[in-house]
Structure formats: C-alpha cells, structure tokens
Structure 1
Amino acid sequence: MKVLDGGNTYLWTVNFYDKEGRVIQSKSTNYLSGQDVVDNTYDFPGQLQLSKRTHTVSGKAPLEITSPYEYDHMGRKIYTYEKIGSTSEVLLASYKYNELGQQIKKQLHSENNGSSYLQTVDYAYNIRGWLKSSTAPKFSMSLKYEDAATAYKQYNGNIGEMNYTGPSSGAKSFQYSYDKLNRLTNAVSSDNLLNETLTYDVMGNILSLNRTGTGYGNTSYDYVKNGVNSNQLKSTAGNIESNYSYDVNGNLLTDSKKAIALTYNYLNLPNTVTGTQNITYIYDATGRKLRRIEAGKNNDYVNGIHYEQSGTLAFIQTEEGRAIPNGSSYIYEYNLSDHLGNVRVSFDKDPSTGTARVMQEDEYYAFGLRKGVASSSNNRYLYNGKELQESLGQYDYGARFYDPVLGRWNVVDPLAEKMRRHSPYNYCFDNPIRFIDPDGMQGTDIWQFNKDTKELKLVKETKDKSHTFIDQDGKLLYKTNETKADLQKRGMKDKAIFETFVALGSAIRKDGDAYNNMKERAYEEGWDPSAIQDLKETGVRKLKSDRGGLVADLLVSRKYGSASTWEKAKDVLEAPGKFDKATGSDLVNDVQDFVKAIPGFFTEVLPKAPGNFVDFANQIKDQTIKNLQAIQNGTYKF
C-alpha cells in the first residue's frame, strides 16, 4: 500500500488463513517504522474468541493488547475484555438482549469480573423496534415519534421530540419539525440556546440558517447557479460573511472568513491547509489517515493507536472509548452517546471514590455544531463519533470533511450518482436528527444502521478489526476480521459484483420475496472473500431465490411481457444452432430482444455488468420453450 507522502514509502500487509478461510494472523508495517501483528483465535461456531495485537514502533518497547470475547447461545456478544501489556485485565462491557435480539442493557467497566460496574445503560424500544430511550446515571435520553407531547407527531421514523439529562447540562427537551420532503426546518430547545431554523432550495442546499445562543445568528447562503458548478457555495452573508472558491473537482479551495487555502490529493482528501495554522495530512492509497502535521508536531494514527507531539502515546481506542497512559498503567475512559452516536458524556473511574467521574460533556446543535459544557479531558471524537479537526472546525468522516458551522460538506459526495435527487454537498438529506453518514459517502437511516435496533448494518471499525453484517431480524449474515481498508483494497471487481446483484434486485422489485432474497445474498456474496472465485465462475446463477430460477423470477415480476415479445423470444430460442455457437458478448446480443420485454431491465441493468450476463443468457438458453410458455400462461411450477 503506497503512502501518499510524496516519496516511495509502502506499507505491507500479509494475512494468514485457516482452512475455513478465516484470518488467523495479520502482519503489517506501520508508518512509524514498526509493525503490527494481530493473532486471532475462534470458537467452534467461528466467533472471534481472542484477538491479540502486538504493536511496535521504532525506538519503543512492544505493546501487547489482548481482547477476549464471550458470546451467548445465539452467537451474540455478551462480554468484551481488554488487557494492555502487563496491566490487569478489565471487563470493558457486558451486553444483554431481549427475546427479539434487541440490546436492552449495557454495563461499562468492571475490575471484579462483573460483580459491579461504573455505569449501566438501559435501552427501551417501541413496537416498531425504534429506540425509545437509553438511560444511565450520567446521561439519559428519550425519543418520541407519534407520541410527541408538544411537537408535531411523526409516523414515518422522523423524531418529533428528544429529551435528555446530563450531569452539567441538566434536563432539556427539543422539538423538531420538518417539511414535506422530511427536511428539518426547526429545532427548538427548551432553553432556546440551541435553536436552529432552516430553509432550502430544491436540491436541498441550505438557503438560510438561523441559530440562537452563539455568535453565528442569521446566515444566508448564495450558490453558483446552473452549469457544472451548480450547488457550490459562492458566499454567505449575515453573521457569517465569507466567499468560497473551488477546484475543478468541486473541492473547496478557499474560505475567506477562516482565511484558509486547501490543496487535495487524488482521493479529494485535504492534503494541506494554509492559514494562521498550517496543517499537512498524510494518507495511504486507500485514504486512511496516517499523520497530521500541525505546528511542527506529528500526530500519528496507527489503527486506533494515537501518538501526539511527535512520538508520545496519547491513547488507545477501545470498543467503548479509549485507554489513556498513566505512568505504567492506563486510565479507561468511556463514552455515553445518543441515538446518532454523538458522544455526550465521557467518564472514567474516580481513583478516590471508585465511582464514575465525568471528564467531558458536550451538547450539539441539530447540524452538529458543538457546545462544550464541561471538560477535564480532550476527547476529540465527538459528533457521530468522528474526530474534530480543531484548527479547521470540521469533522473527519473518512471520505471527506464535514463543516458543522455551515451544515454541509466541502467536497462532492464520492457516491453522488446514487443520490441524484440531492445536492452532492448536502448533509444527511437535511435530516441530521434521523440520518447519519458513517464514512462521508452516503447518508443512512439510523434504524438501518444502529446496533440497538439490529437493522442491517456494518459495525464500526474497531481495534479488533471485526465487521459484522446483521439483518433486520438480528440474524448474522456475514462476519470478517479484515480491516475496512482491506475490504476496500480487495478491489473494484468485488464491489462491481456486489452492485450488480443490487441492480438485479431492483429489476425484480415487484416481487418482494425474490427481491429480499436476492438482496440478502448480495450482501453475503458481495463481501465474502471465500465466495468471490466461485462467484466469478457461476455469475448470476449463484443467486436463485426460494421460488425458482432468476429468469422465472424476472418474468413473473414483470407480468410476463407482450405476446409479440414472446414470439420474438421463441424465434430466438429456436434459431438452429444459434445458441450452440454463440458465447460471451455474442450470446448476450442474441437475447437482447428477449430481455427488452422486461421494462427497465435492458436499459438499467444490462449495461452495468455485461460480463455477468453471459450466465444470464445461458439461463435463457437452458429454458425450454415449454417452460417459457408455462411461465406466460401462469402454470409454471416453482
């Protein structure tokens, strides 16, 4: 993996697998002239039982981090432990679930193997499975939808009210209202200090943003109109007066109010920031941030291990917070978050009383602008759990940086083609109370991307390198121990296969059973490294629904097609020797008249992945005329 530092530095990773295709050891070099070795062991069902990481950097003693895990009879994680070096093992968290698989309790930090904990968080849900409340002594929150007391009742998943109580912020309530496109128009706090009122243009760009309780007040936005540069912010007026310019890729180059100028690498990630404080970022070729150079000091990122001030170990990220060095031991700091993953309270163990001690509390405006309430710590992983770049006032989401002051991205969405109805600079469809953006590429409904509700999700990258796909019923679909960077590195071919299956699924969206079956298999097959080769060999035939073959599903879902099309199909299939000799693209061309009978299939799906349609064409070839006629008549038996 090449390092984008202007030199010829490469980082190497070697993975070793067992006979089941599971990573049992991963060796990689890091940017600090050291290496990381991760050894994994699994239990009989294949769950990760123990992960041991040996981390070395030049000139320092090796650091060993051991993470054991325990699971219940359903394969759900119930205990997470951690041991750093020679220090005592700590039980980071225990988890409990209800009969539906929803997490109903989380207990944090135990040094006596679960006899007592510093904090207990209880979760409750409504009949739809939406989170109603999370309750802990140091931070409690409740959400209201159709049961909102004073705000407009919301029946579609939008949140009408939120109430919370923090140790320093006290008890507060928020009321939210939306327009007919589900865009947030008003957020009103009980103390009127965190209010936001917004208007938008037809693309979802913010036209005006009015805030209370800060020095920002009323701000109006002016955009480039028409042409290829549409949606780019040209200027703001009011309390924020600034002018902006962009490069040819649509990346923000200058911000006159902040007096900064930026340059970007080929991934459209900030490379340098020039202003009152100069910053340089160094990434690897996948966009993983390796170093931030600010005020002449290096701040290094090594897969969850952070070094600051050019070589000083600052902290180690854990699955529930971080471990901070304290002489020869470590202080474990934990995060209490809201439904969006915004860190509200950070706490550790008070050495004098042995109870939970609040180290930091933060509040947020609806679009993420932070209001610090109390701080004895310096936790920068805050809004959505992302790292705040303090000198820029922006959050690093991975694929791009987000500006909570303006409520928009400064770089075009890398997946803009998937959200054509929205501005490529739009944040979370203008509904940041309900949606999150895990990596800066696509907004996601929290009810599909939240561990409490067990909807389909990709668990955040943690130091144990475990990623999990779970369906809406809590069923484990797929688990891998590869890092997010490794998943991306595996290449665009695998991604193309995955997206092909999603496209195929959309072609049969009128058949709910077949669509859901295919979509689930797409998630399974598209990211499963052990299935890729088999997938390439079998192509579309790999995905057969419970009701029959792919061809049958497509035909039934589109209600057969016209009689004239059936005659064309019959002629094509009966053409003497035509299919016997045709292969590859010729075979695809021979069945084009047939697939034209399926609205949207020929124009939407076929151009996206012609290679896979060799197998599709073969399926049509394999169908007898009798079967096709039976499908047309509705008598075909699946």
Structure 2
Amino acid sequence: MNKKICSILLLAGTVMHYGQIVLNAPPTANTEVSDPQSIRLLPGFNFNSNSGTFRGYLGTSGNSGNNPYVPVVVDPSTNIANTENYIYTRQYLAPTTTSNASLPQIQGIQFFDGLGRPKQNVSIKSTPGGKDLVTVIPYDGFGRQVDSWLPVPMASQNGNIQSGVESTATAYYQSNGINDSFPFTHKNLENSPLDRVLNVKNPGADWQNKPVNFGYDANTVADGVRKFTTTTTWVEGATKSVLGENWLYSDGQLYKNTVTDEDGNKTIEFKNGQGQIIMVKKEDGSSTYYVYNEYDQLAFVVPPLASIRGDIVANTTKHDELCYQYRYDGRGRLVEKKLPGKGWEYMVYDKQDRLVASQDANLKAKGQWLYTKYDQFGRVAITGISTGSSRVTEQSLADLQGSNFVTRLSTPLFNRQGMDVYYGNPEGTYPKSPAWVTLLSLNYYDSYPGYGFSPAFPSSIQGVPTLTATPSSDGRSTNGLPLVSLVKNIEDDNWSKNYTYYDQKGRAIGGYSINHLGGYTKTESLLKFSGKPEYVLTSHKRTQNDAEINIKESFEYDHQERVVRHWHQVNGANKELLAENIYNDLGQLQAKNVGNTTGSPLQSVNYQYNIRGWMTKINEPGNLLNKLFAYELRYNNPNSQYSGTARYNGNISQAAWITQNDAVLRNYSYQYDGLNRLTEGRLWDAMNLDRGEYTESLTYDLNGNMGTLKRKGRQFPGYTAPENRDDLVYEYAGNRLTKVNDISQNPSGYPLGGKAFGYDDNGNMTMQEDKGLTIAYNYLNLPQSILSPQGNTSYLYSADGTKVKKTSGSKVVDYLTGFQYENNTLQFFPTSEGYFDFVKNKYIYNYTDHLGNVRLSYMNNGSGVEIIEESNYYPFGVKHEGYNILTGNAAYQYKYNGKELQETGMYDYGARMYMPDLGRWGVVDPLAEKSRRWSTYNYAYNNPVRFIDPDGMQAEDKIKIFNNGDIKRTVDSNPYDTITNEDESKSIKIARTNVTDTNPTGDSQIGTINTIPLKVPGIDEAPGGEQFTFFQIQNYDAATQFFEFASLNTDVEFRQELFSFSDGGSTNMITTNGMKNLVFGISDIFEKDYTFSAGHNVGNSTKTEMSHSHPDENPFWPSGYNNHGKDSNPTFTPGLPWYDRKSANATNNYVFSKYLHNLNGGGYIKYNTEKATYTKTKK
C-alpha cells in the first residue's frame, strides 16, 4: 500500500512574545514545522490530509548544554584492541595527579597502518550526544593520499577503531539535511615522480564537474611577458634603480603555472629559475610585474594600470602615481620605499637590524621621526617622536650605538610629557635624549614600576594567587611577561595606563586600565583548569567621581569545552541569557537561543550549512514563523526566479532576507567579473520581482578603481521605474580620485559633484569639495579634524590609534574601553549579541549577517519582543531608504560591517574612514604592499558581498590556534594572517607570499593529514580532535613567529621545519599531533611523498632546520639531556625519553620551551646527538 506523507510547515498561526513556535490554526499541507527549542500546540490546531496520513516526530533538542559532560571511560590497556597501532591522548579539563577516566576530559586516538601511516582519527565521544567523530585516511595504490574525507559521527566504540567509515560518511551527508553524497575532496595527481596536483574536486556533487585545475608549462613569446630590467647605482648609502626594458622573454625562459578556479577564472604566474615571481596575469589580461635589481632585491612592482602603458619606463610621473619602488642599504635592509600616490618613506636600523626609526612624507616635512627603543631582550620599551635630519645622517647616528638598549630602573630617571620614565641609558641608545620631542608609549616587563597612580597590587584575584616579580619556590615569577603599558594621547598629554595580572601558570586573570580622564575599567577572571573563563567581572568608572558600574559575564561549557550558555548581569540585576548555543554533530552552531532566560528566549536562531561548511541560512526566509529576521545565502544553487548565476568558488550568487516589519521577501542577485569583482547587485522582491530598486552596477579600471557606479533608489507610487539615485563617473590621477561627476543630477544621493579632491603627501584625502569637507590628519593618518558645512568634528586618539573622544558641534562622545558616553552620560556598552542600553536599562539584541552588518535590532519591552531598527544595505554599504524606517537608538550608530557611522556619512573602521557612497577609502591602505595589484584605496577587493575589512587596513584571514593544537581559519579574505589564541586574548600578525585571487591564502596553507579539508576557501571548520595538523608558509620569519606564538599559547607540542630546494627556494612547515609529549613532522608521516603548495616534494628537499616546543616544565630541555644541559645518559639508550637526541636529523635542531620562556625571557636550546646548549635565537 502506498502512503502519502505530509510534513507540516506553518503558514498560519500567532507570533508569540518569545522564541517558541506556537500552532493554533491549521497549517498548509505538504509542509513541515521544526524547531530545536519547542513547538506548542494550542486549541485550534488541527491537521487534514487527503490521504488520511499524518506523521509527527519528537526528538532531543541536540542542546549539548543539557548534558555538559558525556562520560568517557576509556583505558587503552584494557579497552582498545591490541591488534592496531595507535597513539592515544587525553586532555584533562579538571586537575588530577593520576589517570582518571571519570574526570572531564577530551580524548582522541589516531590509528596507523603497518607502514606507519595514519589511517583513522577518532575524537572519542566528542559530539554533543556522545558519538565518536571519525575521519578515515585512505591511500591509492601508490601510497598517495588523494581522497580527503570529511569527518562523520558514529556510535562510540570507546576508543576502538571504527569500520565502514566511508559508507557511513556518505550516508550521513546524504541524509542529515545536506543531501549530498560526495563528502570528500579528490586530487588528481600527475603520473610522474613530482606527483604534482592536476586538479582538485572539492566536496559536494555540484563540485565534481567544477574542479580547481592546475597547469604547468613554460612561457612562449606569445605570452607577451615584458622583460623589465634595472640599472642600479649607489646613492646616499642606498641602491637607486632605474627601470629599463629589454623587449619580451623568449620561449622557455620562465616557468608558467596556471590556476583555474571552479568558475573558470584563470591566474597565470610566471617565475624565473630562481623562483622569483616575474609576472602574474589575471583573467581580464591585466598583469602585475615584479622587477628585481642586480642584487636580486625587489626594486619595482608594476601594477596592472602601469604595466599596460608603453611609456612606463620613461614616465617617472606614472612611476610615482602607480608603481611601488624600493631601495636597500649595504646590508640588504629596506631603507627607502615609495608606494603609489604617497611620498617616499625612510627607515633606520640599529646594529641588531631592528627598526629604530621611520619617517613618512608628512613627518619629513616637519623634520620628525617616529622612534622605537628596545630593552636588552629586544622587547619594545619606548616609542615616541624625535627631531632629526636625513636618513643617511640618522643611520650614521644609529650606527654609533652598540648594544642600543635601555635598561630597567627601580626609580625614574626623567620625566617626559608628564610621565616618569623607569628606563635608563638614554644616551647609549638611538636617538639620544636631546632629540626626543614627544614620548608616545612606555611598556614595562618583568616587574611593576613604582608609579604613584598604580592601583594596589592584588595578591589574589577571585581567590587565585597572582604572580609577583619575586620568584616562588618553584621559580615562577612575572619575569618575561608584559605587565604595564602606558599610552599617551596624541593631541594632548593625558595618558591611558594599562596593567595586567597573571596567575601562577602565567595566564592573564586580571586587568586594570586607567583612562585619560582618571576613571578606570577593571577586569577579573576566574579561569577553569583548561584556561577558559568561568566568569569575568568588569568594574568601570568614567572618572573617579562617577558611580561604579559592575558587570558579570558567566559561561557554561559542554564536555568538549564548547560554550553552551553565556550569561550577563549588570549592577546585580537578574541574569540575562545572552546566548544558549546548540551544536550539531560536526561541531557547527546549529541553533542559538538569544535573550531573556533559558525557558523563554526572545529569539531562537537556526543556522544551516552546505557540504562545504558554508553558512546557507539564518532561520528560514520562506517560513518566518515567529522569527524576526531570516536570511539565506545561495552559492551554487541560485533561485532561477531571480536571475542568478551559480557560483562554485565561494562567491555568493544570491542573498535573500525577510523581516517581521513588512514580511516582504527580498533578494539580491550578484554578478562578478573574471577577477571576482562585483559588477552588479540587483534587488528583486517577491511582490515586484525585477523592478530594479536598490540596485548597484559598477565598472572598474585595471587596478580596481571604480570607473562608474550606478545606484537605483526606490520606485515611488505612480512612477514606472525606480529613482535614478546616482550615476557616477570617476576621474583619477593614478589611484587618487580627483573628480566625481554625477550624471543623474539627483541631490538625494551623492552630491551633484564635479568638484575637486585634494590630498596631502601621504595620500590622505584632505579636501572633498563636493561635500565641503576639509580634513586634517595626525601622524597615524587618522582624521584629527573635519570641517563641514553641517558642523565641524574633531577627534582625540591615543598613540596606538585608539579613538577616545569625538566632538561634533555640542555633542561630546567618550569612547572608554567599550563604554560609550555622550555629554558625560553613559549611553551603552557592547555585549556579544548586541549592546546594553544604559539609559533605558535594556538589553538590545542584533541580528547580523555573514559580514557583520547589523540588520535588525530588538528588545524585550516587558510584554514581548519589539523591533527597534531595521537596516538593509546596498552591496557597498549605503543604507536602503523608503521602507525600513525604524531609527532605533540615535546614540548607537554601529551599522554596516558593525562599524560606527560618522556625521560625515563615513564609517570608522579604526585605521581608516570608509565612504560607502563612493565605495572606497579616503586614505592609502597602511598594508597596501600585501595587495600590490590592487588600488591602494579599494574596499574589500571590490567584493563586499564576500569580504570585509576588519580594521580598515586590509581584508585579512583570521587564524585561531586552539589549546589542543587545532588550527582554523575563521574569516576568509586575502594576503595577511592574524593569529589568535583560543580565547582571542592574544594575537600577532604575519605576512604571506605568492597570493593570487584564486589562491588567496598564498603560501599560507592550513591542512590536516587526516584530510579534513578546507570547507570554504580559506576557512577550516574542522572540529577539534587528535589529528596531524600543519601550517605551511614560505616566509621564514613569519613561520618562526607562528611557531613561537603557538608554542606559548597552547598545551601541545609544535614542530617547525625548514625545507630547502635545489632551485634555491624554501618553505616552512609547522605541525602538531595535538599531544603534549610528541610531535611528528611532515616527513615522518609521508617520508618522501608529500607535495608542498609550491609544487616541491619532500623527497627532493633538504631539511636544514628543525625546532620543536616543550609545553611543560618537565622536560624543558631536549629529551636525553637533563635540565642543566649535561648528558643524562652517555649510553645511547633507545626509548621515548631520548627521542629528541636520537632524532636530531636536521642541520640545526632546537627546543623552544614555554617554561624556559617564563623563566629566562625566551630563547632556544640548540642540540645534536652529543650536546645541548642554551641560545637566545636560532642563529
């Protein structure tokens, strides 16, 4: 008998006050209703089916918060089959001195085949419901790993190896809402000893016919690669190169590597025999050239707009407007550079090759330099502004100093700008004290200076003893830790004073920041054994005379240390549930209950993902129910009704949304060119379809400067077409915008235009006559004052670039560590889900999209949920007008990308102000050299639908290193990496190389040998577990930075290996097994078969250096040597305790010890099979 099954999807019902689905009327047949929180059936609900069949399901919510600790009872000596080779690890989440299976812990096991290759990774009972998360690692007949499988949840075997993993994974991804039977990446390799990758098919059925293809060839004359040359002379202690040209490269002179992404966009890279990039050609034929001088130093970068000019060699004006130019001293140090549209910049170094002074064009006009002074350990101690002469003169003065470090004093030596300085030896460092003009910052380490304004030192914080400068019985102290940072305001001589306090493990548990007004913000954290906070207390005053505000944030975790509840409390009031997180079996956020209490949240927010791990939905736009906002992103599956084009390379094809304000489903369809630049964002809505309202259409020049921008407004009643809001035509000198003509002549958009733009020598826009703006900048290129016909605005910054005050007319806004005041009255402070309106004493919650845009704000008005503001945006950030009329809180102006809208209509991103009506910045990118093929003023690579610019410096990758060694990208962008620890309390930035649009991560590659792939280009969302994880990067200094940061901020061992190749190239691999006492390298796992991202093979390389870390005190010397450097056993005894000594197989071997770092201020232990010696650096 055939049965027709009807699911229920609510189309009729009542929207209740809180985040609970309620049915009190008949829903439409053939529909489905689901919610992870609850569904309530009230009188009036009934169901009718033509077939007489109704099916309902009740299941667990999947809320891991209801089961905070899944018991893990595994003993490898009794439970795990002894027929397998394995490495079993456990990470305790509670203190213990003995092996204890009943304590909270994270467990994992990695199985190996008979050849020592990993074949399966199991994160034991790691899912919210206690299943194993399993990843299989297969090999082809040649022993190569060509298939990379996604992890799959399976019923736990208590640590034993799982069978049928591939078939289970296929079934899981087919049936769990993803509906895809290709849960793996497949690589086709070249049939040669090089094993070069020919193409990669990413997970997903739709990607099997859309691979990333790689081509390897040699150039021909038909490629038209111009052969630029240089003539270099020695001028004022530096190279000076003159650009020349010798026609074209002949056949076979260059390597030609082609990458074609899933959408058919090509990037062709040409390299010479030394591995130097000569030219990169893009899909549209635009080319960027890299020109080296006779000493193989990069002398010029010729961007696309310059490379098409036949006169670029002779036209020095175009050099200055469009090209990057570099000069070096006799030691190969970069000492002079010129960026497009900026004046020359100069650098001075000491004998240790540390940058001690820099000068841009604006400082040069004033005869000033920015200087940096270091202590004896190379840590930044003092920064400031000095007077000085030419670079040559300043370099000669710096060369007179030998060790060139300041010494720490117990009493102040002198006072500058109202601040005592506890550092000595000013005459033995560059610059000498008479040249000091302005002190900008002071940093203290090791011990707290004796300032009269210092807060009382806490002997304990929340009952936990704090570290002191006096060593404890086991040698622990604040030695080597940053303790105090003093930062002066730029525009006046008031200071911000920041103190940090640590527990006995060297973890920051307290902070005390005295603001420039005399008030403070104090934080105290109680940390769990694992280092995650149980709660954080914050106390704040604007000034000493104000009442204190007290905030408590507390956190609950599941058995894998995932946050399941985040509570918030202000001044002792009732606790507010900010978020209750519900995770799926893959560790992805499945749902989030927001606001009020656990039983009655204001909103239950649901999330969906595709097989690539890309977010596809926030709630359900086609079935809004009681949700206030729903949002959908479509990539490869556009809705044909809205004229979309399928995208497979990570670009977004369509974005749809709906809100409770008007319940109209709206949809943007996006079009791109071959460089992934947005060419159109066209709005459709369910009622009017293709009326063309709120559409943006764009063209660009070869550098990515906008050529034209057409922006449609709303269609007014009685009209047959939408308002032609803007029809802009841009004019440039190089990358500098000089004029904007508005053909629309509609003053409701951009002003009528046609007037001049002005710039200073640093490329900062100082005049925008269209709007009557005149802007003055400080030495950080931040706007100090803006004169406007609508009212003048002035800003006050601290020397690190933090905005602390804004004055606009009669309104004065103070920005104090997140607390925002207006005319001395506290308005609000941020929370993880929005902000707390201090005036109304209300929590305000924000729905944000994938870009961080604030789309809808709501609150509990006492009787239910009230929407207070809705904001929808054109792709480049102008807010829609005409239908989302709620204005919300006038004091809270954080909107597009979550940035604050200024009175000028610009958004403040931190390092720069963004102009959404023009779709560009007004200031040169401080990190322009990381994206040299792009205009120095372009926003988000002209793809604002996919990328954001976090701080105005550059769209960037954010990489998080977890305590268990997992490395994950959390934001996909381009060529700069921000590295954070697990709780994001610490971070560093490192540079990448060989970045292209189709390979935005360049040589910075993250991977796992258990083959959990990158689910989004540049994003690794693999859940935690015992896996072999690697981070590859070509730049040695950046690799060392990453290695040391990972070593100091995790609980597992890391290894850094430097591989050199016969063609002169090299690369670095940082690896971890997620274990405390053992780490493998890439050659240990694959011997000679692994292929690096640059195409080289492990078997054809030489390992010239190997460093690994020791996270614990015992041992902190290489195993095989005792803690005094003396051989502990001259007989070469086999066994793990002597593993370091036995495996010293590189030219140089080092141990980097976290414990040694805390004791001695950092350093390495160099060793071989005979001896071990402490060294400061790896030199």
User: Do structure 1's residue 90 and structure 2's residue 601 form an aligned pair?
Assistant: no
1:383 aligns with 2:906: no
3-state DSSP of counterpart to 1:2 = strand
1:51 correspondence with 2:536: yes
2:784 is paired with a residue of what secondary structure?
Answer: strand
Instruction: Quote the offset at 1:511 in angstroms.
Output: 11
Which residue pairs with 1:341 in the alignment?
Answer: 852
Residue among 709, 713, 716 paired with 1:209: 709
Taking the aligned partners of 2:1099 and 2:586, their CA distance within structure 1 comes to 46
Q: Is this contact kept in 2: 1:435–1:445, CA < 8 A?
A: no
What is aligned with 1:39? 524
**Matching of residues 403-414 of structure 1 within 5 Å:** 403-414=915-926
Determine which of 511, 515, 520 is the counterpart of 1:30.
515
Q: State whether residues 93 and 108 of structure 1, in contact with CA within 8 Å, keep that contact through their aligned partners in structure 2.
A: yes
Maintained 8 Å contact 1:478/1:528: no
Tell me what 1:245 maps to. 758
1:188 aligns with 2:718: no
Query: Would you say 1:232 and 2:736 are equivalent positions?
Result: yes
| Counterpart secondary structure, 2:1031 | helix
2:660 corresponds to 1:156: no
The equivalent position to 1:199 in structure 2, one of 677, 686, 699, is 699
CA deviation string 1:119-140 (max 9, x = no partner): 1110111111111110161111
- The equivalent position to 1:121 in structure 2, one of 599, 602, 605, is 605
1:502 is displaced (CA, Å) by 11
Offset, 1:18:
1.0
1:171 paired residue number: 665
Question: Which among 860, 867, 870 is matched to residue 361 of structure 1?
Answer: 870
Q: Which has the larger radius of gyration?
A: 2
Check whether the contact 2:1088–2:1099 (CA below 8 A) recurs between aligned residues: no
- Are residues 1:13 and 2:488 paired? no
Contact 1:196–1:365 under 8 Å retained in 2: yes
Q: Report the CA distance between 1:527 and its aligned residue.
A: 4.3
Q: 1:177 to 1:501 in 2, by over 3 A?
A: closer
* CA offsets 1:423-478 (integer angstroms, 9 cap, x no match): 11111111111111111122247999xxxxx951379xxxxxxxx978xxxxxx63
- TM-score under structure 2 normalisation? 0.41
**Aligned mates of 2:929, 2:1088 — CA distance in 1:** 28
- The corresponding residue for 1:260 is 773
Aligned to 1:547: 1082
Counterpart in the other structure of 2:937: 425
Matched residue type, 1:184: L
Using the TM superposition, give the Cα deviation of residue 32 of structure 1 relative to its aligned residue in structure 2, in angstroms: 2.6
Q: Distance in 2 between matches of 1:251 and 1:553?
A: 52
Cα 1:15–1:562 shift into 2, 3 Å: closer
Whole-angstrom CA distance in 1 between matches of 2:1003 and 2:665 = 49
Distance change (3 Å), C-alpha of 1:622 and 1:201: farther
Task: After TM superposition, give the deviation of residue 529 of structure 1 in Å.
Answer: 9.1
Partners of 1:130 and 1:447 within 8 A in 2: no
Aligned residues: 527
Distance 2:838 2:992 in 1: 47
* Superposition deviation, residue 303 in structure 1: 1.5
Whole-Å separation in 1 of the counterparts to 2:916 and 2:895: 12
- The answer to whether the Cα contact below 8 Å between 2:1031 and 2:1069 also exists between their aligned partners in 1 is no
Matched, 1:322 2:835: yes
Kindly, what percent of the aligned residue pairs are identical? 32
Tell me, yes or no, if the aligned pair for 1:105 and 1:120 is still in contact at 8 Å: yes
2:941 aligned partner, one-letter code: F
Q: Tell me, in whole angstroms, the C-alpha distance in 2 between the residues paired with 1:3 and 1:458.
A: 32
**Does 2:564 correspond to 1:78?**
yes
Deviates more, 1:133-142 or 1:553-562: 553-562
Q: Deviations over 1:317-371 (max 9, x none)?
A: 11111111246xx1111001122111111001122x2x21000011100111012
Give, in whole Å, the separation in 2 of the partners of 1:562 and 1:122.
48
In the alignment, the residues of structure 2 paired with residue 44 and residue 249 of structure 1 have an alpha-carbon distance, to the nearest angstrom, of 50
Structure 2: 5+ residue stretches without partners: 1-485, 685-690, 714-722, 746-751, 961-966, 973-977, 996-1000, 1010-1027, 1059-1067, 1072-1079, 1105-1162, 1171-1179
2:801 is matched with which residue?
Answer: 287
| Kept after mapping to 2: 8 A contact 1:359/1:374 | no
- Equivalent residues of 2:958, 2:970 under 8 A apart: no
Contact between 1:123 and 1:134, CA under 8 Å: does it hold in 2?
yes
**Letter of the structure 1 residue corresponding to residue 711 of structure 2:** R
- CA RMSD of the aligned region, Å? 3.9
- Aligned partner of residue 830 in structure 2, secondary structure: strand
SS in 1 for 2:941: helix
CA distance in 2 between partners of 1:8 and 1:216 (Å): 46
Alignment of 1:561-576 (within 5 A): none
Letter paired with 2:533: L
The amino acid of 2:699's aligned partner reads T
The 1-side partners of 2:509 and 2:636 are apart by: 48
- The 5 Å alignment of 1:445-484 reads 456-457=969-970, 478-481=982-985
Q: Deviations over 1:248-303 (max 9, x none)?
A: 11111000111011111111111110122111111111111111011133201112
Select the residue among 707, 728, 732 that pairs with 1:223: 732
Question: Is the Cα–Cα contact under 8 Å of residues 698 and 707 in structure 2 kept in the other structure?
Answer: yes
Read off the aligned partner of 1:40 and give its amino acid letter. Answer: S
- Going from structure 1 to structure 2, the CA distance change for 1:525 and 1:56 (only over 3 Å counts) comes to farther
* 8 Å Cα contact 1:133/1:141 also seen in 2: yes
Give 5+ residue unaligned stretches, structure 1. 225-229, 449-453, 460-467, 471-476, 488-493, 570-613, 624-638
Instruction: Describe the shift of the 1:524–1:510 C-alpha distance in structure 2 as closer, same or farther (beyond 3 A).
Output: closer
| Aligned residue in 2 for 1:147 | 637
Shift of 1:187: 1.0
Cα distance in 1 for partners of 2:494, 2:778 equals 16
Paired residue secondary structure (1:370):
coil
Cα distance per residue 1:538-582 (max 9 Å; x no partner): 9979956622499x999985758999x99xx9xxxxxxxxxxxxx
Q: Are 1:4 and 1:283, in contact at CA under 8 Å, matched by a contact in 2? A: yes
Looking at structure 1, the residues matched to 811 and 558 of structure 2 have their Cα atoms a distance apart, in angstroms, of 46
1:560 and 1:356 mapped to 2: Cα distance?
Answer: 60
Higher-RCO chain (CA-CA 8 Å, sequence separation at least 6): 2
Correspondence for 1:270: 783
Distance 1:79 1:522 in 2: 37
**Whole-angstrom distance in 2 between the partners of 1:163 and 1:523:** 42
What is the CA-CA distance between 1:12 and the residue it aligns to?
0.9
Deviation, 1:36, is 1.2
Deviations 1:389-417 (A, max 9, x none): 1x210111111111100000111111111
**1:608-634 deviation line (CA, Å, top 9, x unaligned):** xxxxxx999x99x999xxxxxxxxxxx
Question: Contact 1:40–1:52 (CA<8 Å) still a contact in 2?
Answer: yes
Whole-angstrom distance in 1 between the partners of 2:609 and 2:737: 40
CA drift of 1:193 comes to: 1.8
Q: Match for residue 593 of structure 2?
A: 107
Conservation of the 8 A alpha-carbon contact between 1:28 and 1:35: yes
Q: Aligned equivalents of 1:81 and 1:290: distance in 2?
A: 28
Give the Cα separation in 1 of the matches to 2:1029 and 2:603: 43
Q: 1:444 to 1:555 in 2, by over 3 A?
A: closer
